[in-house]
Amino acid sequence: MGLEFINRVIRTSLILAAVVLVFGSVYYDWRHAVGVSSGLVFGSVNLWFLMGLIKNTITPQPRRPLPILIISVVKFPVLYFVGYLLLRSGVAPVPSYVIGFTMLFAVILLKVLGRQLVDSSWMRVAEGRKGASQ
């Protein structure tokens, strides 16, 4: 699992944010749906900046300080200030932001469990039985 795994987690989280926004707005309360979706998007952007920071810091080539500085300045003060403004805005209840932010970790957990299931010997046995029965 490398950077492509993190990119898939971010992509899946953004798709989930769109689904939650649409269906949550229609079937529940639009304020909660906006909060959960905003939390998911905030977590995805935070993870993307973290991935860029790690990729530029831990590298076999000589480090370039300018991208590290730019990512650090955008991630830490700017992104977190935007998160503070989201919480203070009162558009959505604070627990809905927290739920959205923690849903990112649920996506990561489910992606890891899915990868483990696909690579497990149990799955090969199940595929072998399926092929033998046909």
73-103 pLDDT per residue, tens: 999 999 999 999 999 999 999 999 999 999 9
The 3-state DSSP class for residue 58 equals coil
pTM for the model: 0.86
Local confidence band at 57 (pLDDT 50, 70, 90 cut-offs): very high
Let me know: does 14 contact 44? Beta carbons within 8 Å. Answer: yes
Report the share of the chain in percent with pLDDT over 70. 93
- Cα–Cα distance for residue pair 55/63, rounded to 1 Å: 10
> In the chain, what is the straight-line distance between the N-terminal and C-terminal CA atoms, in Å?
34
Local confidence band at 118 (pLDDT 50, 70, 90 cut-offs): confident
Interhelix angle 94-119/80-89, rounded to 10 degrees, is 130
Let me know: does 103 contact 36? Beta carbons within 8 Å. Answer: yes
Let me know: does 8 contact 111? Beta carbons within 8 Å. Answer: yes
What is the model's pLDDT at position 46?
97
What is the model's pLDDT at position 134?
62
Q: For tokens 């707005």, what's the residue?
A: 25
